[in-house]
Structures are given as C-alpha cells and as structure tokens.
Amino acid sequence: MASVRDSNASKGTASTATGRPSAASTWGSSRPSAASSAAPLLASLGGPDGVEPEITVSVHTLSNHFGSNLVVTANSESVIGEAAPVPTGSSDEHMVGLSSAVAAQRLVEFGRNEIPEVIEPWYFMLGKQFIGMMPFMLEIAAIVSAVVEDWPDFGVIVLMLVVNAFIGFHEEHKAKQSLDALKASMTATCPTKRDGTMVILPVAELVPGDVIFLRGGNIVPADSEWLEGDPMLVDTAALTGEPIPRKVPRPEREGELEGAGRHLLGGCIIKQGEGHCLVKETGLRSEIGQAAGLVQESSGHQMGIFETKIMQVIRFVILISLVDAGVVMYVSVHTRGLKVSDSLLNVLALVIGAVPIALPLVMQVTMAIGAAKMAKKQAIVTHLTALQEVASMSVLCSDKTGTLTTADMRVLPSKVWTRKGFSPDDALLWAGIASNPANKEDPIDKAVLESVNEHFGEQVAQRKLQGYTKTKFVGFNPIVKRTVAYCTHEEHGQLKISKGLLDKVLETGADGGECWTCADAEQIREQLRTVDCRFSSQGYKTVAVAIQRADGPMEFAAIVPMIDPPREDTKITIHRIRQAGIDVKMITGDHLNIAIETSRLIGLGTGVLPAGDLWPASATRDETIMTADGFAQVLPRDKREVVLVLQNKGLVVGMTGDGVNDAPALAQAQIGIAVDDATEAARSAADVILTSPGLSVIYDAVVESRRIFARLRAYVLYRVAATIQIVCVLSIMIYAYNDTMPALYVILLALLNDVTMLPVADDNAVASALPEIPSMPQIMLASVLYGLLETAQTMAFYELQPHWFAAPDGVDAEMYKDAVVYLQISMAVEFLIFSCRTPGFVLFSFFTENRPSLALFSSVILGNVLVSLLAGFANTLKIIQVQVLWKDIAYIWLFDIAGLLIIDLLKWMSNLAGTGWMSAGAGTSVLGYPDLPESMVDGLQASHLSTLMHHRSSVRSVHAASRLSVGSGLPGAGPPSSNTYQRRSQSVLPFPHNARAAAMHANFASF
C-alpha cells in the first residue's frame, strides 16, 4: 500500500517520560495565541492568516514536513483512487465517512491540505537592489555627471552602482526557498473512506470529516481523532518535544477537554498499532500547519539590527546633504550667477561625498570573514546579519530535548536507589541482563544497555554482561509490564532477574505471566512507593529490579531512575552565556517535572512554569515570562509567543532548537540556532546551524559576533565621520569662500579610503563583556563629533595653506591648493580609523591585545603612501592636477598625525569624564571564557528566578525600547509608531525589529 512510512526511529524516542499535553494540544482550545487556535470540526473557518502572495504561489503537501525521519514511498498516479487493502471498519455512524460530493464541497470550503509559498522571481529580486536611499544617491550622481558630460566620473559611479547591486542580489538569492523543509517533493497518499469504500487518495485532498486508516510507521497527515482499532503508540517528539510515545486512546487527564486522549496531531508518527481516525483539521489550521504558517509569517527580507541603525544614520546624513546640495544650487545660480552646468559640478561633489559607497561591501566582508571563522568552529551561518544580532542578544531561549539534553534517556548511577545488601553497580548490571539487546527500538532497554556501557566502559561492560549466560528470556508486553531473564553465573549460580514496573516486579499478581511476590513485600511496599513518587516528581522514569538466587525467594533489589541527561557542555555553556549578560530560558514541550529537574541539573534554576501560565495575555503574564527560568508542556505557538513577548520588552532574542516544533520560534527570534542533528525544518528556519554536538559553539558565536560588532562600529564611525567631514568641508568652501574641490578628488576620497579599510574586517578586536545594543543617538553623536573635529582640522589647514603650503613659482595657486587640501583630507581620514576602533587612547592600544592588526596598519600606511606618491609624481601619473612639493607632503603627514593625537586625546578625556560621547557605546570590559564556580560543579547551585533584569545590557535595551515608541502585535501594547517596520505578511514586530533578511535558508551548506 502506498503510504508515508517511517524509515527510522523518530528523534528522541529514547528519552524522558511522557508528559501530559499542554492545554494548547487539547481539541478546540479557545485560548488566545499569536496564531488562530484550531477550531472544532465543521466550524465555519475564515481564510488562514499568512503572507500575501506577491508574484507566484506554489503549494506543497504537508506530508514531508517532518525532517529526515521519514521516507515517502513512490506514489504513481495510477494507484490514486483505487481500493485500499485495509479494513473498512465498523458500520457505526461515526465510521460512515464522506461522499465524494460532500468532500468536494468541503475541499472548496476548507482548502487543500497544503502550505502556500511565496516565490519571488530572480529578476524582481535583482531589480530591488537598485531601489533605496544609497542606490538612489548613486543614480542621481550618475545622472548629474552625465548632464555635465563628466564621463570618467560617470563610468566610475555606474560601476560602483552595479557592483553593489550584485553583492546585494547574491546575498538575498541565498535566502530563497524559505519553506523547503516544510514542503513535500512527492505525492503522499492515505487510505480514506469515500462513498463507503476505503480508497487511496492524495494527502492534499483530505478534508475535515474524512475517515482515514493509519498503522505503525505512518505519519499522521492531519490533525485527527482516533475512532476505532488497536491502541496506538504515537511519537509526538517532532511537534511537542516529548521523547516517549503517547498512548492513544488514553483517559483524559485533569484539566483536559473531553476527547483529548483520542487526538492525533498532524506530523506525529504512529509507532505501534493501527486503526481508523477522523480528520479534524487540515492545512494551515492543523497544529503542524500553524507551525508552518507562523514560520512563514515570521519570514521576510529585513536588515540586521546594527545595519538598521546605521542606515538610519546614513539616511539622516544623506538627507542633510541633499538639502545642502539644493541650497548650494540655489546660491550658485541665483546669487552668484553661475551657469547651471557649473553649479551641477558643485552638487555632484556634494552628492558623491555624502554617499558611503563601500559601506555595504565592508560590512559584508566583515561578516563573511566572521562566518568563515564560525564554520571552522562547527557553526554554519546561513544568514550573515545574524552575526550582528548575536552581538546584541540579551535573552537566549532554548528547547530542552536534543538541545540542552542528549535526546537519549540514560540511567544516572548516582541516583540509583538500592536496598541494603545491594549496590548501584549490581542493580545497573542486572537491569542490563534483563534487557533485550535485539530490541533496539525499545527506549527503556536501549537506555539501560547504553548506560551500562557508559558507566563501566564498553569493554568491561561487555565482559560483565557475558559473565551471565541467559537460558531463557521473557520480553516485555503491556499486560505483565516486566521482563524476566533466566541465567547462570559462575559465582552466583542460577539466577532469575526481573526488570519492569515497580508494582509488577514487587508483586506480580495473576496476570498470565510467571507470578511471584518479593520477600518482605508488605513491609517495604510503602517505602518503595515513596521513593518511586519522589523520582517521579523530579521528572525521572523508573524501573524496578528484583533477583532470585538459586531456589531462594525473589528479592527486591533497586529502583533505577532514568532521565534525558544534559549534554556534557550544557552547564558550563549556560554559565558562560549568563556571565556574558545574556539570560537563558528553557522552553520545552516535555513534562513540567522533567523540565524542572533538567533545569536544576544544568544550573539554570527551578523557576520553570507550565504552558498554562502563558495565557491569557496580560501585563502580569508578560512579567512572568520575563522572570521565569522556562516553560514546559508548550506547543510551537507557545514558544513563538514567549519570543514575541520578550521582543516586545525591548530584548534581542535568540532561540535554539532541533525539531519541527521549534521552527516557528526559530524563525521569529532575531537569532535562530539549530543544534546538531536538527530536523530540516529547524535547520531551514535557523540563522546558525551547529554541526557538532553541544552548545559551546553558541558561546563562541557570542564572542566572535561581539568582535565583529566592534569592527563594524569602528568602521561605521570612521565612515560616517568621514562623510560628515567631506560634506561640511565642501559646504564651508562653497558658502564661505566661493570655492570648491574637483569631483574627481571627492571620488578618489570615497574609493581609496574605503578600499584601504577592507582589512578592518579581520582587525584585532576584543569582545565586550555585555551585549552590544546599537544606539542611533550614540552612533550619530560620536560620528558628528569626529566629523566636526576633522572638519575643524581641515579648515585650519585651509586657512594656513597660503602661508605654510604656498604654491611654488609657476604653479597655479588654486590647483595647488586643491591638491594639498585633498592630500590632507585623505590622510587625516585614513588615520582616523585608529581612534575610532578603540575607546582608549590610541597610542596605548598599540601595546594591548586590541592593537591594530598588521593588515590594517599596513593598509592605512600604504594608502597614505600611495596618495603621497600620486601627489609627489603628479606630473608623471597625471591623476592629481599639479605636483606637490615633497617637503609639503612631509609636513602634511606631521600635521595629520598631530591632529589625530589631539582628537583622540579629547575622546579619551571624554571617556574618563564618564560621558563616552565619542565611543558610541563601546565598553572597556572584555569577555573571556570563565570556568564554573566550585559551588556549581555538583549541580546544586541554581537560582530560582531569572537574573534577566540584573544585567545592565537588558536594562539598557529596555531603556532603548522606551525611547523608541515601536508598536506590537501583542495584547496590551501601545499603538505602532510611524517607523515600525511593516513586514510582507502585514504583521508588526516590536523593538528590536525582527532583523532577519530571510527566515529560512535551504541552501545553508553552500555558504
């Protein structure tokens, strides 16, 4: 039969105990969410929320959403519609199914069981690169140069425009195919009852009310309700994060809606059993469809946080420059009587000077080098601007199963409880003897046997196990709920060892298997139940072990606890991340008790709350999210809601995860991180993909990204200050002296000074001890101060030029003045980078780890040597209009170095005074790699509440949020401001804007 099959055990099936589903998983839940809750069957539903199609819409079935744990069998068109070789089921009313006519009507009403995808043509993507403030400025400059027939300048400007456009196109093109992991490439089918007959139909054509047949190995194609058949074991790890399969049907738990025990969520895998089910929700209305819809809603081409701030500064400078250019044009034509063509030359110089032409290129190169470094540390960066966001991250939300933990249950030998006369080592070994090595799919046997190997060492463990010769083995079944191994041992003789449920090992009762009652059963029963309940309340799953030696009685030996253990590096990584001023929260679909115990083991804290505390939305709820150490029993929309609330509080949020259930939150967060062995859905939604086990790479990413941020901040300060200097100098020359500078000199300034700054991308930089929260006022203030000081230096030189740097005899004085002023500006701007890159005094930095890299230092010096040669050999090279005397060149070097030291001394004094006006938020403390305190090595120290608001970085980001009135789509938020970023899906994010250039990237490996 053609069907969707499970070729491998689902990720995380051998792990912790099954937790009760959150309220969100119960059918017809009415609590609010960022996405619409699933409505009851046959309710009148409107169109699903999603992105508005822009160009082309293609659709893909839901059947291949679930990572690499499934294989879709080839389904030819010839089998669709044919009779399915499966049971028809009973003739009860609820098993009737739908007629073809009714199904067709509902298909129109509810839509196909598919997820729409927006596809943007490549030529549209390329065309957008020529739209924007900076491209417009270059285009204006090109038009002006063409009008005045300045063709050399025209050619250079057009070349810069085209190069920048193709850089942007290349970056955005890598973000295409945003929902690949949530789509299917083959037609999936499912046995469905139509017109009273079970036939094979495409999964995409299922509608609410269809009766379908599912069996072990199938993936549930839509949210459904079990009707009749065998009890099923359903692996829900892909959607809820629970590593142990749920039993369906099962009795409803306290607080669940009626019928919740019969529900099967789309995307889950049937591990055992078969039966008929009723389709309840399809497409974007199903839980897995809502997950895909939330990912899609969180997608969109956006800038990084730092890049957004920088562009705000650049737009402001360009706007002022345009106004200035208009005034210059008016003054030149109407006041001074110049021709329009001559005035346009002055305007051209201003326009070119106002555009930081190489800014995007330098930022891309800086981030690309950082991404290459991260790749060497087993972290693939799928979206370069994520490196900006990681530097600003103030909260890290993390999934538990497979992320903080190994997703494989293990026995904790130190926790094994034994009766007097038995040792934990013996109990663990006997549990291994009573396990079946051939049954690799059984999570309990697998956990016990692998724990034996890890505890004793594989070679010693095998030698010990082989010392017991099994003569008979009775496997586990749902009735007797225990295993029994009969064996012989050279030292102990004949043995009977049992492992299983405590009550069934202590006293079997007449259950059809071999029966016994352990010695002293009545005396120890209450003690054992107390121990078992304590383990259960701590989130452990337990098995009991009993042994019979020769003809003696069965003796109860031990209670063996199991849990999904934390990864080896989880605790130290969380400690380091918190030391870096980043709060950590655990968000998991697993049971609350398991989450609390895991959180305690990793030193995260025990303030973990159930998902029910996330609703209804309120100010109190938001504060609860801020102070909690995590949430348990959550569904995908709950995880995304936590991220949204934290973003609404002004925080930059990171999210780690590995499953389909994490994809919406990964896409929503500014930094989505998919851990090793993550599903394709999680990888595609992430900005950073870890390719080695553990979380230590995340801390490496924090350190490296803060270094990248320091490099970018230094370059941006330098470039914006240089732009301000050029615009101010040209404006003063035009207004005050009725003078100007040749446009070619301005182009040389824009090109040469930016090209020589490329080594800043790999400059030495130290990571700040606190998150780097970009501030437009700080960046603007520092840039303006640098620019004005540089302008003052140049204008002082301009005034002194006739006296100190007079033109030699026979040389045009105006042309000589233009040449030496250009030379002074060019070298002064080059030297400025040394001041911008460090908050300390520039000379001191040369003797610390923050000294300029050899490449940057050499580039600056060689750049200044080059312009000196251009000026000194002007008669030969024919680029500078007149040749400058070598003594004047030497004095200009000394003049600019002295000017750098004076400017930097003012910056240093400002920092000592505590104002930091010229540092743009750069801190002096350095982030390192701290070790765990001794008090945390044993795992006993853990705060009960989040330390979020104790971090200066978080307070700083909240203040930033209060300064910027940015709207939110959350209840209780204020109205959106006019500069709130509007996404293609029409949803609005609070500050900081969801700064993803693309939420999902299928071609992450190509980077």
CB-side neighbour CA atoms (13 Å) of 352: 29
d(CA 282, CA 110): 8
Alpha helices by DSSP H, 439-591: 443-456, 458-466, 502-506, 521-537, 570-579
Mention every residue, 6+ apart, whose C-beta is less than 8 A from residue 75: 2, 186, 187, 188, 189, 202
Could you tell me if 314 and 323 are in contact, meaning their C-beta atoms sit under 8 angstroms apart?
Answer: no
Could you tell me if 218 and 269 are in contact, meaning their C-beta atoms sit under 8 angstroms apart?
Answer: yes
Count the Cβ atoms, other than its own, within 10 Å of residue 719. Answer: 29
Q: What is the dihedral of CA 238, 243, 247, 253, to 10 degrees?
A: -100
Could you tell me if 738 and 336 are in contact, meaning their C-beta atoms sit under 8 angstroms apart?
Answer: yes
* Phi, psi dihedral angles at 895 (to 5 degrees): -60, -45
Taking each continuous run of H as one helix and of E as one strand, the counts in the chain are 31, 28
Secondary structure (H, E, C), 770-797: CCCCCCHHHHHHHHHHHHHHHHHHHHHH
Count the Cβ atoms, other than its own, within 10 Å of residue 346. Answer: 23
User: Residues 930, 933, 934, 937: is their CA dihedral positive or negative?
Assistant: negative
Could you tell me if 427 and 558 are in contact, meaning their C-beta atoms sit under 8 angstroms apart?
Answer: yes
d(CA 312, CA 477): 66
Which residue shows structure tokens 């969109």?
300
Could you tell me if 633 and 611 are in contact, meaning their C-beta atoms sit under 8 angstroms apart?
Answer: yes
C-alpha closest to that of 653 among 672, 634, 639: 672
Question: Catalytic site residue 342?
Answer: no
Distance of CA 16 to the CA centre of its chain: 25
> Among residues 399, 408, 445, 754, which one is catalytic?
399
Q: What tokens were used for 936?
A: 């945390």
982, β-bridge pairs? 988
DSSP string, 48-103: PP-PPP-SEEEEEEGGG-SGGG-EEPP--TTTTTSBPSS------GGG--B-HHHH
Count the Cβ atoms, other than its own, within 10 Å of residue 947. Answer: 15
Q: What tokens were used for 797?
A: 């030189």
Q: What tokens were used for 426?
A: 């013996």
C-alpha closest to that of 273 among 240, 238, 247: 247
- Positions annotated as catalytic residues are 399
